């Protein structure tokens, strides 16, 4: 059992951070527990041959429990998350908070064709039934103002890694031009640029399919500049690659990439590198070899505000 106990006895009696038995989440959990001075414990998993999972939580839980679980690969993780939340309630947790560095199923926020299920709405309802509060980083919210709207009757806190990534880029590439690959990322990239005192520009994107996109620079002044393409999520990598190719074709001195969520499914990372990108940096919301910026300070500050 992991224990991180730098706080006082009252803190240990009141709050507990729980993580699933996963290497990345255990490492993030240890750092977060240390920052908060909380104890840390593990949700243990046993996989049965038929695909079901047995979960084991600490047998007696304090009044406030925080569960850390990222939802990359969501279909495999959601069932375990909801079972763990229900078990925590049975074992004594009166207050239950979810820290979800990557919150999946947020892009489908409306029915774009008859019969489509609005996954954002329904996943939000499920999480609202299970948790009192949900904290996440850069969720894909484009048609709602706040995460509270996704979680009926509960508290949602949407944090942004944009300022952290902007300052990181400013240290590595002084004077860089931050480039948003599409209009959806424009506000996010503007926040990164303001935090780091860097210039920024926004591209126009046309999407024809999951892996078929084109990007135009829309007058972005890239010639002779060191360009860093910033986005909240890298999934197939096609948008990042298209933006990088457009910038290099227009005379950029070099192109790097920084993202919050480094999903990089399949051949995505290789595809981005093949487009001429020199370096890729990401936050540690999703485990990847490109992780360079820790969101633990963001999460710790949010927890202190949520739980007082």
Give the active site residues. Answer: 205
For 51: left if phi > 0, alpha if psi spans -120 to 50, otherwise beta; the answer is: left
Q: What is the dihedral of CA 241, 159, 202, 267, to 10 degrees?
A: 10
Residue in the block written with tokens 């990439």:
257
Question: What distance separates the 2 farthest-apart alpha carbons in the chain?
Answer: 62
| Chain centre distance of CA 163 | 14
175 vs 187: CA distance, rounded Å? 20
Nearest to 4 by CA among 59, 68, 54, 53: 68
Residue 159: burial class (beta carbons within 10 Å; 0-12, 13-18, 19+): buried
């Amino acid at each position: 059992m992991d224990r991180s106990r730098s706080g006082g006895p009252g803190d240990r009696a009141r709050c507990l951070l729980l993580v699933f038995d996963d290497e990345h989440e255990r490492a993030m959990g240890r750092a977060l527990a240390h920052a908060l001075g909380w104890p840390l414990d593990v949700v243990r998993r046993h996989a049965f041959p038929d695909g079901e999972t047995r979960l084991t939580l600490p047998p007696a839980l304090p009044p406030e429990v925080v569960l850390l679980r990222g939802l990359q690969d969501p279909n495999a993780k959601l069932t375990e998350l909801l079972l763990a939340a229900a078990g925590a309630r049975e074992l004594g947790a009166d207050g239950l908070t979810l820290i979800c560095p990557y919150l999946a199923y947020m892009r489908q926020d409306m029915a774009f064709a008859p019969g489509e299920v609005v996954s954002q709405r329904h996943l939000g309802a499920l999480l609202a039934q299970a948790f009192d509060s949900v904290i996440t980083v850069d969720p894909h919210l484009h048609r709602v103002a706040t995460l509270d709207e996704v979680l009926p009757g509960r508290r949602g806190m949407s944090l942004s890694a944009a300022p952290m990534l902007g300052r990181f880029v400013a240290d590595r590439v002084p004077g860089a031009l931050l480039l948003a690959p599409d209009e959806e990322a424009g506000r996010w990239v503007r926040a990164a640029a303001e935090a780091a005192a860097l210039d920024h520009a926004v591209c126009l994107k046309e999407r024809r399919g999951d892996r078929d996109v084109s990007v135009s620079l829309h007058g972005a002044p890239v010639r002779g500049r060191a360009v860093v393409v910033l986005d909240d999520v890298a999934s197939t990598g096609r948008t990042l690659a298209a933006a990088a190719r457009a910038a290099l074709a227009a005379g950029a001195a070099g192109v790097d990439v920084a993202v919050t969520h480094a999903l990089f499914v399949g051949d995505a990372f290789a595809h981005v590198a093949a487009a001429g990108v020199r370096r890729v940096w990401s936050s540690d919301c999703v485990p990847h070899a490109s992780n360079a910026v820790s969101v633990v300070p963001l999460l710790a500050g949010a927890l202190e505000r949520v739980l007082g």
